C-alpha cells in the first residue's frame, strides 16, 4: 500500500522520502485535500522543443483548479482572508474578500498571461454545471498566477477554456500530484525545478481535531538562500546550474492557498495568511522586489452564516483568538513542507530556446538527509 506521505500517486518522491523530518502531524495524504470537501485538479501542457516561435511553442504550462467545496455546494461561500507579502503579482477576487470576508466558486492558478482565461472559464464552467449559482447573481472567482516565461511560450496563450474545464472537471479529493503539473509546470524555485506542492497538518483544540492544508505554486528564490530544515544548503549546491540561451528575467512569485475545516472568522483567516511568509522564510525565501507573494486562507465551516440571509440573524461557532496559535504553527509548518515537496517531486526540464532548469538532486538529498526508514 502506498504511503502518500513519502510519494505522490505517480510514484514521485516527496521530501519525507529522504528522511527529512518536519514539525507537526500531517493528515492522511499530507495534502490540502485532507480538508473534507476540498478537491484539486490539473491540466498540464508540455509540447515542443527548440527555438521559441510565439504561438507555436515550446509549451511548458498548465492550470490548477482548487474546489473549496464539492460541486453540489460549490456556490456556497466560504469565510476567507488574504495577505500580500509582496504585491508584484495578481490574485483576482481579493477586493470582495477584503470587503466582506467571503468568496465562492473554484480557485484557479496558472501562468501570468493566462490569468484572464482561467478566471473567465471558471465562470462559464459554473454557469454550465451549477447555473442556479449565477442565475440572479454575479461571480468574482479567485484566480492567481506566477510567471513561467523562461521555459514556456507565455505570449503564445496556449491555455484554453477547454483546459480549464478539464482541470475543474478532474478535481478530486485524496492524494494529488506535485511538481511540474498544472499551473506549476513551468516554474522554478531557488534555481531548481519546482511548481506545485502541498502539505497538511492536524490541529487539536478542545477535544476536537481539525485539518489545515496548504497548496503552493512555487516560483521564487535565489539558490544561495536555500534552506532545508534550518540548514543553509544553497552553498553546497552550486551545481547543477540553470543554463539559458535567452536572458532570464528576474521574475519570481509564490501563490499559497490555505484551507481548513476549523471554524475561523475572516479576520482570523487573514491572520493565517499573514503567517505564510514565515514558512517561506524557513526555506530561504526573502520576498524580493519582483516577487508576487500573495496568499489566501479559507474555512469550509459556517457555510450558512457565511451565506447570510436577509432579515435573519446568522448563527456561527468560532475558535477564540486566544487559541489560534496552533493554527499559526500549522500554517508555517505546512507552507515549508509544501515548498520542499514542490522541489523534491520533480525532474529536470528543458523549455523554450533550450533553456534548462535542473531538479534538486536526489542523490545529494539521500547523501545529506538519508532515506525514510
Q: Which of 114, 148, 293, 299 is catalytic?
A: 293
Whether residue 153 contacts residue 52, with contact meaning beta carbons closer than 8 Å, is answered with yes
CB 262 within 8 A of CB 212: yes
Which candidate, 44, 61, 296, 70, places its Cα nearest to that of 171?
Answer: 70
Q: Which of 291, 315, 321, 325 is catalytic?
A: 291
Q: Is residue 72 annotated as part of the catalytic site, yes or no?
A: no
State how far the Cα of 3 lies from the Cα of 25, in Å rounded to an integer.
15
Residue 253 annotated among the catalytic residues of the structure: yes
d(CA 46, CA 89): 24
Q: Catalytic one among 7, 180, 218, 253?
A: 253
C-alpha cell at 328: 499559526
Residue 21 among the catalytic residues: no
Distances (CA, A) of 251 to 56, 169, 338, 351: 23, 31, 21, 17
Q: Residues 6 or more apart from 106 whose CB is under 8 A from it?
A: 65, 66, 67, 68, 74, 122, 125, 126, 141, 168, 171
Q: How many whole angstroms separate alpha carbon 356 and alpha carbon 242?
A: 6
Active site residues: 253, 291, 293
Amino acid at each position: 500500500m502506498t504511503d502518500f506521505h513519502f510519494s505522490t500517486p505517480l510514484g514521485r518522491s516527496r521530501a519525507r522520502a529522504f528522511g527529512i523530518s518536519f514539525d507537526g502531524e500531517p493528515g492522511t495524504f499530507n495534502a490540502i485535500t485532507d480538508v473534507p470537501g476540498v478537491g484539486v485538479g490539473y491540466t498540464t501542457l508540455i509540447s515542443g522543443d527548440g527555438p521559441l516561435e510565439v504561438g507555436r511553442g515550446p509549451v511548458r504550462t498548465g492550470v490548477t483548479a482548487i474546489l473549496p467545496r464539492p460541486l453540489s455546494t460549490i456556490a456556497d461561500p466560504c469565510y476567507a482572508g488574504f495577505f500580500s507579502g509582496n504585491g508584484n503579482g495578481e490574485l483576482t477576487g481579493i477586493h470582495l474578500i477584503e470587503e466582506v470576508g467571503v468568496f465562492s466558486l473554484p480557485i484557479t492558478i496558472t501562468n501570468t498571461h493566462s490569468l484572464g482565461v482561467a478566471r473567465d472559464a471558471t465562470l462559464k464552467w459554473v454557469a454550465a454545471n451549477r447555473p442556479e449559482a449565477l442565475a440572479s447573481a454575479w461571480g468574482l472567482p479567485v484566480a492567481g498566477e506566477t510567471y513561467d516565461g523562461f521555459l514556456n511560450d507565455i505570449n503564445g496563450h496556449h491555455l484554453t477554456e477547454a483546459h480549464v474545464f478539464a482541470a475543474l472537471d478532474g478535481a478530486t479529493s485524496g492524494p494529488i500530484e506535485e511538481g511540474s503539473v498544472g499551473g506549476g509546470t513551468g516554474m522554478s524555485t531557488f534555481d531548481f525545478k519546482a511548481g506545485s506542492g502541498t502539505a497538511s497538518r492536524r490541529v487539536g483544540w478542545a477535544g476536537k481535531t481539525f485539518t489545515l492544508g496548504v497548496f503552493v505554486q512555487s516560483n521564487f528564490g535565489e539558490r544561495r538562500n536555500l534552506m532545508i530544515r534550518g540548514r543553509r544548503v544553497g552553498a553546497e549546491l552550486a551545481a547543477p546550474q540553470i543554463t539559458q540561451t535567452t536572458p532570464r528575467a528576474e521574475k519570481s512569485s509564490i501563490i499559497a492557498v490555505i484551507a481548513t475545516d476549523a471554524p475561523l472568522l475572516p479576520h482570523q483567516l487573514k491572520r493565517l495568511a499573514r503567517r505564510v511568509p514565515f514558512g517561506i522564510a524557513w526555506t530561504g525565501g526573502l520576498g524580493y522586489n519582483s516577487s508576487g507573494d500573495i496568499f489566501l486562507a479559507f474555512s469550509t465551516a459556517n457555510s450558512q452564516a457565511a451565506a447570510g440571509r436577509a432579515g435573519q440573524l446568522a448563527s456561527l461557532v468560532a475558535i477564540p483568538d486566544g487559541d489560534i496559535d496552533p493554527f499559526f504553527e500549522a500554517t508555517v509548518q505546512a507552507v515549508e513542507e509544501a515548498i520542499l515537496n514542490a522541489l523534491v517531486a520533480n525532474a529536470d526540464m528543458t523549455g523554450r530556446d533550450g533553456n534548462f532548469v535542473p531538479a534538486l538532486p536526489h542523490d545529494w538529498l539521500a547523501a545529506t538527509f538519508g532515506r525514510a526508514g
